[in-house]
Amino acid sequence: MHLHLVIPHAAWPDQAATVELTRDLALPALSQLLGRGRRSRHEPVSKERWLAQRFGLDTLPVAPLTLTTDLPGAPVGYWLRADPVHLRANRDELLLTDASLLDIGSDEADALAKTINTLIAEDGLTLWAPTPTRWYLQMPADPQLATTPLSEVVGRNIDRWLPQGPDALRWHRLLNEIQMLLYTHPVNDARFDTGKPQINSLWLWGGGATPLPVQPEAPADTVYSNDALVQALVAAGKGRAEPVPDSGSALSANGMVLLDALAAAVRYGDAYAWREAWLQLERDWFAPLLVNLQAGALTRLALSFPELGLAIEARQADRWRFWRRPCLPWSAGA
């Protein structure tokens, strides 16, 4: 059996703190896999960029991909993700919180989208909210905007990540108008009264046209992921998407597994949760798969860490490479 584990967000955002943060992190199975396996380096890339490369795409058209699941039969044209977010003022910064922490109800999403559409209709735009957390902007043409994936902006000051392009100032003004509209909306008044964060802006990203000009190619017959984007990618690439099981010992077929256990901690700067997520990955994935590799039930195990620019391939015979010292991902290039 062959498996490929993909572990995004293995790079802690504050590189200077990584040594101290990982100093006593006990990951013996992962250390052995990295130490005795065959290592290769590549340019560090985001999860989204890594996925585009792996699925044979130049860029990742997020909106058209997830749209096929969220809004079947959507009109042909150009689409942007326009996800609901909360912006919090912190001195001279605006910090972004994504919808995963906002507890948005379907009725709230519908009401907000209806109001926003009264503002943007004259520009030929339509906002769709088929799910509480994933919203879409239907456009008459490609706006030629350079945008940033939402996952890269969570917990950060948004200023340097706002849409860029020939008509960027128009879009910045439109977002400001939408923010003012949302500020006084009855939905947000009710959320304030109950102590919930307001839904006070949209994040534009992941644009692309339908139908897709280039079809993705699934890198494995089966891809295990709980990420809606990855599931849509696999479906478009004619592969089979399955949910991630509780542990590596539950897998009995070849495939690629996207393990997102580190994502939330990195996005919100929670160092303790990040360390705990590594320990969970060690217990549920690295340790049982190392046992399977040594026993011959697993013949090859590949591991990819996109943001670290690191890839590993471990085979059963590698258990005899005693001269190779164990190492952790942050020192594997040394």
Evaluate if residue 320 carries a pLDDT over 60.
no
Per-residue pLDDT, 13: 87
pLDDT, mean of residues 66-93: 93
Binning pLDDT at 50, 70 and 90, where does residue 14 land?
confident
Binning pLDDT at 50, 70 and 90, where does residue 37 land?
confident
pLDDT tens digits along 134-182 = 999 999 999 999 999 999 999 888 999 999 999 999 999 999 999 999 9
Binning pLDDT at 50, 70 and 90, where does residue 319 land?
low
**CATH 3.40.720.10 domain position(s) in the chain:** 2-58+215-331
Per-residue pLDDT, 161: 93
pLDDT tens digits along 242-258 = 999 999 989 878 999 99
pLDDT tens digits along 91-118 = 888 999 999 999 999 999 999 999 999 9
Evaluate if residue 234 carries a pLDDT over 60.
yes
Per-residue pLDDT, 248: 93
Per-residue pLDDT, 263: 93
Per-residue pLDDT, 322: 59
Query: Which of 112-121, 232-241, 315-324 has maximum average pLDDT?
Result: 112-121
Beta bridge partners of 81: 136, 205
Evaluate if residue 206 carries a pLDDT over 90.
yes
Average pLDDT across the chain, whole number: 92
pLDDT, mean of residues 262-290: 95
CA distance 79 to 67: 9
Task: Mention the CATH class of domain 2-58+215-331.
Answer: alpha beta
Query: Which of 31-35, 172-176, 295-299, 329-333 has maximum average pLDDT?
Result: 172-176
Per-residue pLDDT, 277: 97
Per-residue pLDDT, 334: 44
